[in-house]
Amino acid sequence: MHEKRRWGRVKVDDAKLTCRIIEPQNSIDNIDYVVDNINPGGICFLSDRAFDQHSTIKFLIKFPFSSYVEAGGVWGKVSYCLKIHDQEKYITGIAFMRRKS
């Protein structure tokens, strides 16, 4: 099978990397989403809720050695949001994007 991605994914283990949505206002829920994988083009995380495809969000990424206070905001567009079979969880892929504040 031919891989269409520009960059390979880096799988994240043991919930060491999380993200939190900070915009738009109606999407803020102060939940730490566990990152499944990340690459230079985007991020994929697990959630208990569905996100609308193609919606734009701003989020913070927290590394194990930092806090959200130290994190910078990153804009992204929802590429996909898929329900995980037999679970009330979703896997959501976000493509990083440039956006003027």
Query: Is the bond preceding 24 in cis, omega lying within 30 degrees of 0?
Result: yes
- Give the whole-number percent of the chain exceeding pLDDT 70: 82
DSSP states of 10-72: EE--TT--EEEEEESGGG-----EEEEEEETTEEEEEESS---TT-EEEEEEE-TT--TTTPP
Does 83 fall in a domain? yes
Does 16 fall in a domain? yes
Does 3 fall in a domain? no
Average pLDDT of the segment spanning 44-67: 89
Taking only the tens place, the pLDDT of each residue in 66-85 is: 777 777 789 999 999 999 99
pLDDT value at position 8?
A: 60
Report the domain count for the chain. Answer: 1
Q: Is the pLDDT of residue 14 over 70?
A: no
Does 2 fall in a domain? no
Average pLDDT of the segment spanning 46-56: 92
What CA–CA distance (Å, rounded) separates 24 from 40?
23
| Domain limits for position 88 | 10-97
Does 49 fall in a domain? yes
pLDDT value at position 1?
A: 46
How far is the CA of 38 from the CAs of 8, 99, 101, in angstroms?
A: 9, 20, 23
For residue 64, the domain's CATH number is 2.40.10.220
Higher pLDDT, 60 or 99: 60
Average pLDDT, the chain: 84
Q: Is the pLDDT of residue 90 over 90?
A: yes
What CA–CA distance (Å, rounded) separates 36 from 62?
13
pTM score, whole prediction: 0.79
Does 1 fall in a domain? no
